[in-house]
Amino acid sequence: MSNENRQFDAVVVGSGPNGLAAAIALARAKKQVLVLEAGDQLGGGLRSAELTLPGFVHDMCAEVLPLTVGSPFLSTLPLSEFGLRLLQPPIPLAHPLDGGRAAVLDRSIDRTAHGLGADGAAYHRLMEPIVAGWRPLLGMLLGPFRWPAQPLMLARFGLAAILPATVLARVTFRQAPAQALLAGVSAHSILPLERPVSAAFGLVLAMLAHAVGWPVARGGSQRVADALVGYLGSLGGQTRTSVHINSTAELPRHGATLLDLTPRQVLPIAGTELPNRYRQQLASYRYGPGVFKIDWALETPIPWQAEACRAAGTVHLGGTLAEVASAEAAVWRGEHPARPFVILAQPTIVDPSRAPAEQHIAWAYCHVPNGSTVDMTGAIEAQVERFAPGFGRRILARSTRHACQMEAHNSNYVGGDINGGVQDLLQLWTRPVARRDPYATPNPRIFICSSATPPGGGVHGMCGYYAARSALRQLSISAGRG
């Protein structure tokens, strides 16, 4: 590429939240940083666009941002000074069941427990100690594996978190609403709910609902990227768009390379600079199911049967624990469930700026087998219609992307996998390869900073932050030698 002859301390390839977090951590350490992005817009999974009709601003990927506001790194950045406003819906999450009822995950543990009736006390016992220690717990969970600062707290969380979500739901709760609620939050793991550790994702997301809420960004998630880029610029960091890197040989002169990429792209770009054994390990990295994504422009709010759903930023559509578990298991068998588990967000209930007056948008996806090209529009809309009769008549326009189109939009979503690789017990802490420092590669100049490193998917920037720390250690060693 023609990027000047100047020398950068570090070049970051990819401008997702992890790439930008890495660049910021490096720039704060007074390093000269350049971020190169293949797309024409910075932000990776944070991009927003008018996908349906003029005036309707949709989030192309991430929408709901509990991990952003809870992130031990991103939460320390002055992003509000760069235009970011996070908006909290009245209720973080509702999970409707047939018959017009819904389980509600409220900001308050007490109100959530109260709404769960006979399971309320059990919910309180499960969540109260986790929420009380949320900050140190999140600090331990959102990073590479290391000896925990508070082993007892982690052990107490771990006893519940290691369980399959189906087991935790059935031993803790007796009634359908609480069981379904736990199933829905756990299904964000994109694991079969019968698998160990699937409960961990549900517990962390429920904990965050109580601790920090499940906000959306005013104006769309692109505003998070814009604020990160603005702050990076104020630190002297540089960015370029529409630069697709095919090989590290194309990069301008620099010290460290940080790749906001998953193993599938790291191999062609940097493979020749990595030893055989490491290349083989990257090649055996496992990707999980993909997603089918849909965005709607709507004439009115969604006519939910259950009142609580109207005030919820996120709504989980899939019915009971057994139904959600069966839909997720089907995806892992390579099938497209007729009644998929759908994660739906309705940001315009708190952010009218994202649609013309009185009109609305909604965002949803369901899991599908990796590499799927099947159109799930009908199945997803039937799930919405099941809990919001008349929904179909409110649709002004829709935009859809199947799993392969998700990958075409962003090559990090291999086969539509939005977590940058399977997040099961075997690959959660060992991503992309089991190493003491998973961000470093055997080449002392090359680092991986994407969600294919711990702690995995989500807009928390912690993969980037830890990769930058690793690169800074190496840069200071090189400076010492130089």
Ligand X SMILES: Cc1cc2nc3c(=O)[nH]c(=O)nc-3n(C[C@H](O)[C@H](O)[C@H](O)COP(=O)(O)OP(=O)(O)OC[C@H]3O[C@@H](n4cnc5c(N)ncnc54)[C@H](O)[C@@H]3O)c2cc1C
Residue among 418, 462, 467, 471 that touches ligand X (CB under 6 A): 418
Among 365, 391, 447, 466, binds ligand X (CB under 6 A): 365
Instruction: Write out the two tokens for 434.
Output: 């089991």
Nearer to ligand X, 93 or 388 (CB): 93
Q: Is 184 in the site for ligand X (CB under 6 A)?
A: no
Question: Counting contacts by CB under 6 A, is residue 352 touching ligand X?
Answer: no
The token duo for 88 is 């909290």
Minimum distance from CB of 460 to ligand X (Å)? 7
Residue 413 as a binder of ligand X (CB under 6 A): the answer is yes
Candidate list 458, 462, 468, 472; residue touching ligand X; CB under 6 A: 458
- Answer for the pair 87, 218: CB distance below 8 angstroms, yes or no: yes
Cα angle value 457/463/464 (rounded, 5°): 125
Q: How far is CA 416 from CA 159, 252, 459, in A?
A: 32, 31, 17
3-state secondary structure of 152: helix
Nearer to ligand X, 413 or 439 (CB): 413
Of 28, 32, 39, 156, the residue at the interface with ligand X (CB under 6 A) is: 39
The answer to the question of residue 422 lying near ligand X (CB under 6 A) is no
**Secondary structure, 3-state, 412-432:** CCHHHCCCCCCCCCCCCCCCC
Nearest in space to 228 (alpha carbons), one of 453, 37, 443:
37
Residue 203's CB is within 10 A of a number of other CB atoms, namely 24
The DSSP output letter for 7 is P
Closest to ligand X by CB, 178 vs 467, is 467
- Is 260 near ligand X (CB under 6 A)? yes
Which of 11, 25, 31, 44 touches ligand X by CB under 6 A? 44
**CB-nearer residue toward ligand X: 62 or 169:** 62
Q: Does 441 sit near ligand X (CB under 6 A)?
A: no
| Size of residue set near ligand X by CB under 6 A | 40
User: Is residue 36 a contact point for ligand X (CB under 6 A)?
Assistant: yes
Integer angstrom CA distances of residue 470 from 25, 27, 141, 223: 11, 14, 18, 28
Contact status: 238 vs ligand X (CB under 6 A): no
Segment interacting with ligand X, rule: CB under 6 A, options 27-35, 91-99, 259-267, 366-374: 259-267
Instruction: Return the residue of 12, 64, 197, 446 that touches ligand X, per CB under 6 A.
Output: 64
Q: Does 340 help bind ligand X (rule: CB under 6 A)?
A: no
Using CB under 6 A, pick the residue from 9, 10, 12, 16 that binds ligand X.
16
- β-bridge pairing 238-240 and 91-97: unpaired
Residue 425 CB, shortest distance to ligand X, in Å, is 19
Residue 41 half-sphere exposure, CB side, CA atoms within 13 Å?
17
Q: How far apart are CA 230 and CA 181, in angstroms?
A: 38
From candidates 450, 462, 467, 472, binder to ligand X by CB under 6 A: 450
Of residues 132 through 151, those in contact with ligand X by CB under 6 A are none
3-state SS assignment for residue 406: helix
By C-beta, is 50 or 194 nearer to ligand X? 50
Contact 328, 192 (CB under 8 A): yes
The residue among 437, 470, 467 whose CA lies nearest residue 449 is 467
Q: How many CB atoms lie within 10 A of CB 30?
A: 9
Counting contacts by CB under 6 A, is residue 252 touching ligand X?
no
SS3 label, residue 91: strand
> Which of 89, 288, 319, 457 touches ligand X (CB under 6 A)?
457
Q: Does 255 bind ligand X (CB under 6 A)?
A: no
326 alpha carbon, distance to own chain's centre: 23
15 belongs to the binding site for ligand X (CB under 6 A):
yes
CA angle 34, 8, 442 (to 5 degrees): 90
Between 244 and 277, name the residue whose CB sits nearer to ligand X: 244
In Å, how far from its chain's centre is CA 121? 30
Residue numbers at the binding site for ligand X (CB under 6 A): 13-19, 36-39, 44-45, 61-65, 67, 244-245, 260-261, 265, 291, 293, 365, 406, 410-413, 418, 420, 450-451, 457-459, 463
